[in-house]
Structure 1
């Protein structure tokens, strides 16, 4: 695999473990719907959390979370809707971004809860 793929997988693994330590239950990883992919779908209390993981090894150009643009948000909303309908969930849905920065062997985490709302798109 490529270095960027391996780094992305490492970041998603770190993100999933981070969420588990915070009390989240992981329901799915890498959920695909058409052209959309949800990195992590979790449940926390009475909410379904759609998590987009963005990772970088430097933030000199921009913070990782800035990569979640309107097109990406729309795709996440469509995929989340598909997942919710297929699984007959009646919980509230929240969209989070986990922005990860890895410098040497240390990760810093910016967990942005309610990063955006489905009504924004």
Structure 2
């Protein structure tokens, strides 16, 4: 059985692979500013995309993407603002979510990409 951190790390690698298959260019993973983190920063065409990855081994507490609540969205938005300022980016942005259900029985990942998952207030 995978521990929590390993499951999350594996999920981020699966998400990066999915994004690459869909034509995204991965810029970086696990970008940090103080206590804030962006799982994946990518580019799709001319759009800079901030991607939150949520991995779960069951949906008893809801689907993984449902964990990207208002609090998580606010943290991701603050992190994205710091990334934009640090890199002096002035173009279009988007927030995507990759939702992953891991089946320990089958050792498979059921992935779902949600483009434009939310927009900051």
Q: Normalization by structure 2: what TM-score?
A: 0.91
**Structure 1 runs not aligned, ≥5 long:** none
RMSD between superposed Cα atoms in Å: 1.2
Looking at structure 2, the residues matched to 90 and 83 of structure 1 have their Cα atoms a distance apart, in angstroms, of 11
Mapped partners of 1:77, 1:61: distance in 2: 24
Matches within 5 A, 1:81-96: 81-96=81-96
> TM-score, length-normalised on structure 1?
0.91
In structure 2, what is the Cα distance between the partners aligned to 1:52 and 1:31?
Answer: 11
Runs of 4+ off more than 4 Å: none
What does 1:106-121 correspond to in 2, within 5 Å?
Answer: 106-119=108-121
| Residue in structure 2 matched with residue 71 of structure 1 by the alignment | 71
Aligned to 2:27: 27
Number of equivalences: 118
Give the deviation of 1:105 after TM superposition.
Answer: 1.6
